[in-house]
Structure 1
Amino acid sequence: MTVDLAALGAALDDRLRAADADLAARFPGERPVRQPVHTVYVPADRYDADLGSRWQAEALAALDEHGGGAEGAADAFGLPAHLAADLYTRVRAKLEREAIEDLRIDFEDGYGARPDDEEDAAVDAAAAGLLRAVEAGTATAFSGIRFKSFEAPTRARGLRTFARFVGAVARDGRLPDGFVVTFPKVTSVDQVEAMLVACQQVEAAAGLADGAIRFEIQVETPQAICGPDGTALVARMVHASSGRCTSLHYGTYDFSASCGIAAAYQSMEHPAADHAKAVMQVAAAGTGVHLSDGSTNILPVGSHDDVLAAWRLHGRLVRRSLERGYYQGWDLHPAQLPSRYAATYSFFREGLPAAAERLRNYVGQVASGVMDEPATARALADFVVRGLDCGAADEQEVHVLTGLDRPAIDRLAKRSLA
């Protein structure tokens, strides 16, 4: 007796059709978009259209005062000596070209509780400032706001700020390019579903198309990681967002405090933080939802030694996040930008030669000491794409190293719409 493979295959196709469609809808893979390497959080009352240029000037001033130039960068940032001069040059060029990649105007913890008329005025001023920056061509590539949470005590104020700001920046049926809102302290799937209702009504009132508003879910509460039934609610939150969720952001200090961790030990590298971020990573895998680590509150201010100590700590934490697949984090001070880019560029520059060689061997089917599978080739290409996107590498050198142009690398990384 032989198996009728054609008939069996057709039967299995029929049996699995719904599961196939569900898998494709829920886990579409990586989105073909750039992910910023950081998000800068600025209290709303400190934001105006010129903030980007001020942060750029302060970051460059810190680099000039404490960075040691091309000769001293290895010591200042804890960089590999053989790469330090090149990295210093690239970091300085990045600060001059694009000091801030992603900006979040904060109406939540960084802003605090204010009278309604005061917060309304801050919303209007910040929205006007963002529009001025957009019109002047000086706006960051990505921007948005963080409003107060949908917890009962702050829900009305958060909703009011969300609706007022979106209404103010919507123009001709569009939001500014790269605009996203941060949805903080999410504790239940119900809150995500409520956010969908809010988005739909705010869109309608602002003359926006359905689905125009995208949001980040901020994981700051233990409930998001382990719900009352013992399941990881963050996974259900992603799928309850109807495709509007762009990323999951870890909130270092709120999450740590909620877990009862003493203030002196609250950190991005605490075991509780690592557990939460591992759950987030698995929940987001294959969904196209990005991941962002949190922040360190040790700022590079004070004496020269204090600045260098803070830079080295920040750089080590950034590198640690990158090695664990968290390609984005928060920055809270202009002087953190040099260490952000120094650590990020070092990560990609150090890894580029080996990644490029493996990618070239994979595409050319060249025998080597490493046998890479398609999934690994995709990860190698994604690594190269991220290095290109942030400015750690350029297309010409990547072409020389891999033999591939940017469209080919995008296709291998599943970043191409073609």
Structure 2
Amino acid sequence: MTELDALADELDRRLADADAALSRLYPGDRGVRQPVHTVYVPADQYDAGTVERWAAEAKAVLASHGGSAAALAEALDLPADQAVEVYERVRGKLEREPIEDLRIDFEDGYGTRPDDQEDAAAISAARALAESVKNASAPPYHGLRIKSLEAPSRRRGVRTLDLFVGEMARAGALTDGFVVTLAKVTSVEQVEAMVVVLAAVEKAHAVPSGSLKFEIQVETPQAILGPDGTALVVRMISAGAGRVTGLHYGTYDYSASLGVAAAYQSMEHPVADHAKDVMQLAAAGTGVFVSDGSTNVLPVGERDAVHAAWRLHSRLVRRSLVRGIYQGWDMHPGQLPSRFVATYLFYREGLESAALRLRAYVGKGESGYLDEPATATALASFVLRGVECGAIDMPELDTLIGIDPATLATLARRPARP
């Protein structure tokens, strides 16, 4: 053995713990698609026909206020060629997959009700979701938001979760797309407690151990900055013991907690940007998705009001995408057209440049850029996200880049799922 080999062996021993921690804490991409949005529906308003009704309402508002590519261009103040490029794609999306991720809400959207009412709502909603899973009409991602584990709502939240999962399990309707959102998280200990709760619920209903996952809703200042000055959301991900799949920003609760006046509470307020910067840093490399929040300006009423709400929503969606936050909340069927228009334009506009650079990277050709492997990964991830949401067609991969979807996923460092 040479002296250099001996030194390398010594480094392996010295860095073994750090190497193991890096692999454990930052495993990278989970190998699953991230939905472009999460739709929230109050539990007492949800039934097995909800997705179909949302689709019908979304198509109706699009027909009424953007019934052609030219009308859509006027409504959203878009160049005519951009509207033409995405109009039929958006119509197709509303027919094929109007909701990518659905959350049945037992928290703010539902409120505080007598126990017997929430019990009945939990059972009814779970049965309806199970029915839609069974007949393949459920969105690919779906689940519920429960009340927080703070003392006043703790028992109610756990009870609703237990009832809901029990119904889903008995129907054989729990899938990989099922997820629970935990609201108003204020401490690392609450995340640890949620892990205990999920394990108990799994055991009670014979659900495979470790299969139930949850999202942390970041809507309190305590999640961003703890009393010791540290970013508790970083520790929360680790405390989730592999069960945390997402960090979801709560626009209005978070802003209000910091004293921002109601008129100025927004996804683009500086306090919102700070919180989301911390969330992105905390989630980077962990495989945990980050989601932006919502706008409360809804596309309802007369033509001018709908168009103004669409323009605001589209701008906010694009702003999030540019910041590297690929998911947000939608609260009304009328927001689906503007969500998909903004999302599709983002990917369509960047496709030609990304394809040129990827083709040059794969084939060692010329593109005007000298891209490193990390940049190639980002380019591939961008294109893959566009394919998954429907903004980019599969044949375009071969035409523009000369690679197949499997190669694209490999470049994106998206591990194959077992």
Fold in common (TM above 0.5): yes
Q: Which residue in 2 is equivalent to 1:239?
A: 238
Name the amino acid aligned to 1:298. Answer: V
Tell me the distance in 2 between the aligned counterparts of 1:406 and 1:279. Answer: 32
Q: Which residue in 2 is equivalent to 1:72?
A: 71
TM-score (norm 1): 0.98
Q: CA deviation at 1:98?
A: 0.6
Is there any run of 5+ residues in structure 1 with no aligned partner, and where?
A: none
Q: Which residue in 1 is equivalent to 2:395?
A: 396
Q: CA deviation at 1:31?
A: 1.2
Name the amino acid aligned to 2:153. Answer: T
Q: Which residue in 2 is equivalent to 1:261?
A: 260
Is 2:233–2:282's contact at 8 Å kept on the other side of the alignment? yes
Is 1:173–1:208's contact at 8 Å kept on the other side of the alignment? no
- Structure 1 SS opposite 2:52: helix
- Structure 1 SS opposite 2:44: helix
Q: CA deviation at 1:351?
A: 0.4
- Structure 2 SS opposite 1:127: helix
Tell me the distance in 2 between the aligned counterparts of 1:91 and 1:392. Answer: 9
Q: CA deviation at 1:173?
A: 6.8
Q: Which residue in 1 is equivalent to 2:378?
A: 379
Q: Which residue in 2 is equivalent to 1:87?
A: 86
Distance 1:18 1:330, change over 3 A: same
TM-score (norm 2): 0.98
Is 1:77–1:342's contact at 8 Å kept on the other side of the alignment? no
Tell me the distance in 2 between the aligned counterparts of 1:266 and 1:31. Answer: 33
Q: Which residue in 2 is equivalent to 1:23?
A: 22
Is 2:29–2:415's contact at 8 Å kept on the other side of the alignment? no
Tell me the distance in 2 between the aligned counterparts of 1:47 and 1:309. Answer: 28
Distance 1:257 1:329, change over 3 A: same
Is 1:180–1:213's contact at 8 Å kept on the other side of the alignment? yes
Tell me the distance in 1 between the aligned counterparts of 2:134 and 2:288. Answer: 29
Tell me the distance in 2 between the aligned counterparts of 1:80 and 1:156. Answer: 53
Is there any run of 5+ residues in structure 2 with no aligned partner, and where?
A: none
Alignment partner of 1:48 is 2:47: yes
Q: Which residue in 2 is equivalent to 1:221?
A: 220
Tell me the distance in 2 between the aligned counterparts of 1:160 and 1:392. Answer: 40
Tell me the distance in 1 between the aligned counterparts of 2:21 and 2:350. Answer: 36
- Structure 1 SS opposite 2:15: helix
Q: Which residue in 1 is equivalent to 2:355?
A: 356
Q: How many residues align?
A: 417
Is 1:174–1:208's contact at 8 Å kept on the other side of the alignment? no
Name the amino acid aligned to 1:87. Answer: V
Is 1:68–1:76's contact at 8 Å kept on the other side of the alignment? no
Tell me the distance in 2 between the aligned counterparts of 1:303 and 1:287. Answer: 45
Tell me the distance in 2 between the aligned counterparts of 1:382 and 1:393. Answer: 13
User: Please, which moves more after superposition, 144-153 or 368-377?
Assistant: 368-377
Any residues of structure 2 matched to 1:6-405 within 5 Å, and which?
A: 6-171=5-170, 175-405=174-404
Please give the root-mean-square deviation of Cα atoms over the aligned residues, in Å: 1.3
Q: CA deviation at 1:399?
A: 1.4
Name the amino acid aligned to 1:188. Answer: S
Name the amino acid aligned to 1:402. Answer: I
Tell me the distance in 1 between the aligned counterparts of 2:173 and 2:204. Answer: 13
Name the amino acid aligned to 1:291. Answer: V
Question: What percentage of residue pairs aligned between the two structures are identical?
Answer: 63
**Per-residue deviation, residues 51-80 of structure 1 (Å, max 9, x unmatched):** 010000000000000014022222212334
- Structure 1 SS opposite 2:194: helix
Is 1:224–1:232's contact at 8 Å kept on the other side of the alignment? yes
Tell me the distance in 2 between the aligned counterparts of 1:248 and 1:178. Answer: 16
Is 1:107–1:148's contact at 8 Å kept on the other side of the alignment? yes
Distance 1:203 1:127, change over 3 A: same
Alignment partner of 1:5 is 2:4: yes
Name the amino acid aligned to 1:317. Answer: L
- Structure 2 SS opposite 1:36: coil
- Structure 2 SS opposite 1:170: helix
- Structure 1 SS opposite 2:139: coil
Q: CA deviation at 1:81?
A: 2.6
Tell me the distance in 1 between the aligned counterparts of 2:362 and 2:144. Answer: 42
Name the amino acid aligned to 1:241. Answer: G
Is 1:407–1:416's contact at 8 Å kept on the other side of the alignment? no
Tell me the distance in 2 between the aligned counterparts of 1:408 and 1:204. Answer: 40
Is 2:70–2:80's contact at 8 Å kept on the other side of the alignment? no
Is 1:173–1:206's contact at 8 Å kept on the other side of the alignment? no
Tell me the distance in 1 between the aligned counterparts of 2:172 and 2:300. Answer: 43
Tell me the distance in 2 between the aligned counterparts of 1:79 and 1:207. Answer: 52
**Per-residue deviation, residues 296-332 of structure 1 (Å, max 9, x unmatched):** 0000001100000000000000000000011000000
Tell me the distance in 1 between the aligned counterparts of 2:168 and 2:96. Answer: 25
Q: CA deviation at 1:172?
A: 7.4
Tell me the distance in 1 between the aligned counterparts of 2:135 and 2:208. Answer: 25
Tell me the distance in 2 between the aligned counterparts of 1:302 and 1:368. Answer: 48
Tell me the distance in 1 between the aligned counterparts of 2:243 and 2:112. Answer: 28
